[in-house]
Structure 1
Amino acid sequence: MVKGANVELAGLSEEIGSVTLGLRWSSATGDGDADVSVLLLGADGKVRDDADFFFYNNPAAADGSVQLLGKTPTADGSEDRISLDLEATPVDVERVVIGASRYGGGRFGELDGLRVTLADRTGEALLGFSIDDATVESAFIFGELYRRNGGWRFRAVGQGYETGLAGLATDFGIDVDDTDDTDTVSAEAAGAGTGDGRPEETAPPPQGPVGAPLPGIPRQVERRTAETGTAPASAPVPAPAPSSRPRTARKKVTLPRVTRKPLAENDSWRLARLFPVSSLRSDRERETRATSILLSVMAQVPEFGRRLTAGFGAPAGRMETFTEVSLPHGDNPKRPDGVIRIERAGRLWTALVETKTNGNPLRAEQVQDYMDIAARRGYEAVITLSNDVALEGTPLVDVKIDRRRKHRVALRHLSWAEVVHQAQLLIRHEGVGNAAHAWLLQELLNYLQHENSGCHGFQNMGPAWVPVRNAIDTETLCQGDQRSLEVVENWERLVRQVCLRLGGELGRKILPVQRARRGTDPQSRRAALADRLCQDGRLFAELRVEGTSGILAITADLRTGRLRMSIEIPAPEQGYPLSWAKRLVRQLAEAPADLHVETLVEGEGVGPRGTLERLRPEPGDILPRGGERITGFRLSLFKGMGSTRGNAETGFIRSVDDAVHRFHSGVVAHLERKPSRRQPTGATGG
């Protein structure tokens, strides 16, 4: 589409009851990002109230009409997805505006590939609109959906704001709160999700997105406790100032981070669990039990069930789940592992579920049968669930879709690692409706993370791993070898799983950085990485951790058998080099003594270097002697990597997981102790 054009959605697809919008952008450095937002407008072109503004602190509507699904990596950046249930949209909402804003002084002109796409319920892309004239704008309206003659249309807008999120919000009737930095967090924000038994009056702010008094506000839209510098857990929260303004989120319940002292007489006693796992003997038992446990918790905890199904085009409504359902298919009936049914306004949305545990792969012929059954019976989706991680452009199973059928079925994949990630976000950071729901999710987590459940996530680098490592050792690996491409694909799966695991622990978005030229397809990008693996024997990845200024880099050197975790810190704009070095050493007082510190020098790359143990008594040793200009510091930790391809204690996958966790908790976390405040751009005047 071109700017200003509009199109009727019903003319593009019959499956537009719910749609998914994707907002994309990329940057040459890999660290450019923005936050999406959605506004519901009445006939007067204004929001009905402040709760009609959906953003990072208000990500979902109670009626399910809007849900921000978060970011997913693409070949050259990331995509922020939004689920809109048009059938659930209130009748007095005439327009749905889709926008995004940058923070920290960023401008959209610094980003490449600004684009919005819209897909129907089956996941088929219907339209796209690219913005190629962005310059100094810090907020943009990408497009809008609006009612016309009983249907919905989409308009490509492409309107920018130099005044950022506050300017955009004010245009549509949001009452912007521009109070100064002495304002306190609201009682709801401060008391939400403590779950630790303390009174709400003195409980610390939760470690996750919380309800804000008003959207788009610098002081009362608190991004995350760790990012905004809120008082530590030991400090009481001041009483809130009286306010008649509405809150955008209800109180939530999270579980305490520190477990209570058990009442057991000795360590051999084990807590009784709702979902016992020790009796499992076969993969079939694991698949059956894992499916039943997951589906039952999805039905009983609405926030969790909605979180997992919204991205598949499911509406918000009453959910029921079933296992071991027999469905006719020729002479032999088929029994999918599970069925999900959601009722809304008298209509049913149905998905078949096929589950695998441990390293068991999905079978194409089995999934094909379920796709055919779903198409004949008018079901909406087939969901596959396994330890494997789906990659863009590389389907896990190849199925044939009959385009002649009027009813189309969406094939979607969910990994066990993503299930664990979403459960952790809810009970540790964002909160659920009540304590019983939080307890159920904790029991689910306990089951999935048990060593006997078979749901540990991606856990095998594949049959090519050992031959490729041996060929690298003997220098016989040639470019174009298909085995190296298989290793690169599995490395990408591992990296994405690392992002899910660390993101669940921290309650932050963590995405792999994809540094590729715009327009590069995923297969070409992986082929280039496979050629680099053949040349230098290294696997490389970069992670962008929300709230962290630098990019976390992972290098696996298959020649030396070592992992390197590193992050580059830019030099401060003010002060003297010696004071920079002393401050850095103070920040890293609790970091591992074997941390390597390198000085980055303008024009010459790397200057002096040394271990933290050697630099602690003499921080000045890290400064260049010739007076060269310092551009930053690189911090690195090294670790031996596992030799086997699996997830055992001696395996490569476990070694990467442990290295990332140790580096973030031992190094990066210390650099974030005094983070700068992150505010919506334009909230203080642009």
Structure 2
Amino acid sequence: MRELPKGANTGLAALSEDTGSVVVGLGWSSPSGDGDADVSVLLLDDGGKVRSDADFYFYNRPSAEDGSVQLLGKVPTEDGSEDRISIDLTAVPPEVTRIVIAASRYGESSFGDLNDLRLSLADRSGEALLGFSITDATVETAFIFGELYRRGEEWKFRAVGQGYETGLAGLATDFGIRIAEDDEGQEAEPGAEAGPEATAPAAAPEGVRDGAAAPAGGAPGDATPAQPAGTAPAGSPDAPAAGARARGTRTAKKKVTLPRTAKKSLAENDSWRPARLFPVPSYRSDKEREVRATSVLLSVMAEVPEFGRRLTAGFGAPAGRMQTFTEVSLPHGETPKRPDGVIRVERAGKLWTALVETKTNGNPLKSEQVQNYMDIAARRGYEAVITLSNDVALEGIPLVEVKTDGRRKHKVSLWHLSWAEVAHQAQMLIRHEGVGNAAHVWLLQELLHYLQHDNSGCHGFQNMGPSWVPVRNGIDDETLVPGDPRAVEVVESWERLIRQVCLRLGGELGQKALPVQRAKRGTDPKSRRVELADRLCEEGKLSAEIRIDGTPTVLSLTADLRTGKIRTSVEVPAPDGTYPLSVVKRLIRALETAPADLHVETLVEGRTGPRGTLERLRPEPGDLLPRDGAETAGFRLSLFKGMGNTRGSAESGFIRSIDDAVDRFHGSVVVHLGQFEQRRPARAKTASEPSAPR
């Protein structure tokens, strides 16, 4: 991989022969684990401006209708998480000459609070081509990381690294996006529902950072362009305060989602079952499950373009006409091989092809099978092999070992999908982001019902592995010692389980939920897991933290294998400038419908504060105040639940109890904490976006 200094540029063709589609990754780390930012992409013409607001892609408009740009969202990495963007350069309109890749922070947060700001760019096969690190961030609230631009018939990349103190609003204004600042409570003109307007949160304008190098305002060329002259408009008193963040779903045209409440059933009684497009009978063999699951999934991918594109964009597939096939016979030595499925995408007369190998019911992938398909794909000029199973892939730990013939000019990429990821993407589309028409919503709903049925075999990760029982027994009888490799295997299984919990929770909420990694970027994954395994041997606990995108909340989860209890908790800071007793009463009111056994602990610097159950504190909120009048920093809210006692290596009561604990805590506690937060001023909107409640 080639490392670029600030201001440098390079042609993509010199790095790879397969750059018709690229994946850009933006990453950063935070010492506290709570740093976050939003990515955005702008398509510019020869004049350095967007053709319209529709050329601006960010969290409210994550994809282009022509498939040229798709924000894939955050994905877990060994260092925390990374935002990834799929850009199909063959689909970019010819009048677009530059593609600006940026990120912004919200509230009073700046990029100086983050470490290891970095951009990476990979080709269609997933091979990393170049990287660019930003090392001089200070008070900037928005950054242009880099840009792709045309030079004749070739696409080139420039490492920009330009910072703004005016946030996303200032950056967007520089490139022709219209930003409107409404008075609080005043609604913009209605009627813009069908328009492609974008929304950009405003920040207190201080002007573009002095001395920022390699800005993207000039004409594309090999030399570093000049500093853009435009600056963000003057701020208003209604600019968002710290922590404020706009998170509505807005798209270029009306999208269809499921209604919030289901229609009343016409059945005479509960024993009547609705007819299903994909029925799930009792299967006689795992092979039947695999064949049916593959056919169901691939048929829906081909019929619902948004869904098919969502699943394949990250694998380097272009945006185009998709067809899918099952049980295709392909020559391989003396015996033809039959992959479970084939995906083909056509664009501009060119074909992108992926072979699919499917496993259900917790069955593991077989290296020999996958190796055969990799060899077939290489000989036939196919681009990818996609494996699909209940397992969740971890970076640094391949699910199957395959060998690649380096002498072959044609590269084949190997990708993995979990059934949990498939269900997550279907949920995001039909419940939150929307698809093109009601028939597509219904198809995705039927797919989701099928995947979640007990008989489908597509439930996701449900196996803690063969080391789970010995480790629990070793903790019970205190014979487990640091350095035991079985503890490392349990830590890996725990990490897979937490990532699946994040997928399920994110699908329900419509936001990305990701595990928090409190480790320095670049830490060896193996060393990190060994350290966590040694801690498990000494303390008998498995711990994790989950951050929900768009919120300041970090949900902590601890499974104490000695006591057999699961603790879910969250820390809530106390609002500034309010009387302590008023703060406590406000918290208790916000938790009016929370479980009576919720534990509430006052956080006081340097020592343990007062604590009690909600049942005891409701009549006497003042019991939470420190007796000596010490300042209250915040509160820790916790629920305890017994973990499953089943110790088999297959589906265990432990996994189910973790899911139940997270669901109960979030649904009965976390969702009510918004009432406890300080009120925030309204955010900025584009000129034609109607106001909507948060």
- TM-score normalized with structure 1 length: 0.91
Task: Report what 2:224 is aligned to.
Answer: none
Aligned pair partner of 2:542 in 535, 539, 552: 539
CA RMSD of aligned residues (A): 2.3
**The residue matched to 2:356 in structure 1 has which SS?**
strand
Task: Report what 2:669 is aligned to.
Answer: 667
> 5 Å matches for 1:559-570?
559-570=562-573
| Residue identity (%) | 73
**The residue matched to 2:36 in structure 1 has which SS?**
coil
- 1:352–1:673: structure 2 CA closer, same or farther, 3 Å change rule? farther
- For residue 200 of structure 2, what is the amino acid of its counterpart? G
Task: Report what 1:157 is aligned to.
Answer: 160
Aligned pair partner of 2:356 in 353, 358, 368: 353
Distance 1:186 1:474 in 2: 69
Work out whether residues 167 and 682 of structure 1, in 8 Å CA contact, stay in contact via their aligned partners in 2.
no
Matched, 1:283 2:286: yes
Matched, 1:214 2:216: no
- 1:125–1:649: structure 2 CA closer, same or farther, 3 Å change rule? closer
Distance 2:39 2:159 in 1: 16
Show CA shifts across 1:198-244 (max 9, x none): xxxxxxxxxxxxx873332559999xxx97599xxxxxxxxxxxxxx
Deviation at 1:682, TM superposition (A): 12
Work out whether residues 375 and 409 of structure 1, in 8 Å CA contact, stay in contact via their aligned partners in 2.
yes
Deviation at 1:187, TM superposition (A): 5.4
Work out whether residues 179 and 684 of structure 2, in 8 Å CA contact, stay in contact via their aligned partners in 1.
no
Aligned pair partner of 2:660 in 658, 661, 675: 658
- For residue 297 of structure 2, what is the amino acid of its counterpart? L
- For residue 390 of structure 1, what is the amino acid of its counterpart? A
Task: Report what 1:7 is aligned to.
Answer: 10
- 1:5–1:82: structure 2 CA closer, same or farther, 3 Å change rule? same
Q: How many pairs are equivalent?
A: 645
Aligned pair partner of 1:624 in 623, 626, 644: 626
Of 626-635 and 322-331, deviating more is: 626-635
Distance 1:677 1:325 in 2: 57
Task: Report what 2:402 is aligned to.
Answer: 399
> 5 Å matches for 1:325-344?
325-344=328-347
Distance 1:229 1:315 in 2: 28
Q: Structure 1 unaligned segments of length 5 or more: list them.
A: 193-210, 231-246
Matched, 1:97 2:100: yes
Distance 2:464 2:604 in 1: 38
> 5 Å matches for 1:127-526?
127-184=130-187, 213-217=197-201, 249-526=252-529
Work out whether residues 274 and 443 of structure 1, in 8 Å CA contact, stay in contact via their aligned partners in 2.
yes
Deviation at 1:649, TM superposition (A): 8.7
Deviation at 1:262, TM superposition (A): 1.3
Distance 1:394 1:186 in 2: 53
Of 591-600 and 280-289, deviating more is: 280-289
Aligned pair partner of 1:58 in 36, 55, 61: 61
Of 171-180 and 534-543, deviating more is: 171-180
- For residue 416 of structure 2, what is the amino acid of its counterpart? H
Of 640-649 and 564-573, deviating more is: 640-649
Distance 2:525 2:590 in 1: 39
Deviation at 1:306, TM superposition (A): 0.5
Deviation at 1:267, TM superposition (A): 1.6
Task: Report what 2:126 is aligned to.
Answer: 123
Task: Report what 1:636 is aligned to.
Answer: 638
- For residue 262 of structure 1, what is the amino acid of its counterpart? S
Show CA shifts across 1:68-101 (max 9, x none): 0000122222100000001111111111110000
- For residue 370 of structure 1, what is the amino acid of its counterpart? Y
Task: Report what 2:206 is aligned to.
Answer: none
Task: Report what 2:117 is aligned to.
Answer: 114
Show CA shifts across 1:19-53 (max 9, x none): 00000011011111000001111111111111111
**The residue matched to 1:87 in structure 2 has which SS?**
helix
Distance 2:247 2:346 in 1: 43
> 5 Å matches for 1:599-618?
599-604=602-607, 606-618=608-620
Show CA shifts across 1:250-291 (max 9, x none): 101111132222111122111111111024222111100000
Of 265-274 and 461-470, deviating more is: 265-274
- For residue 537 of structure 2, what is the amino acid of its counterpart? C
Work out whether residues 117 and 135 of structure 2, in 8 Å CA contact, stay in contact via their aligned partners in 1.
yes
**The residue matched to 1:405 in structure 2 has which SS?**
coil
Distance 2:189 2:680 in 1: 17
- For residue 64 of structure 2, what is the amino acid of its counterpart? A
Distance 1:330 1:48 in 2: 54
Distance 1:601 1:550 in 2: 19
Deviation at 1:430, TM superposition (A): 0.7
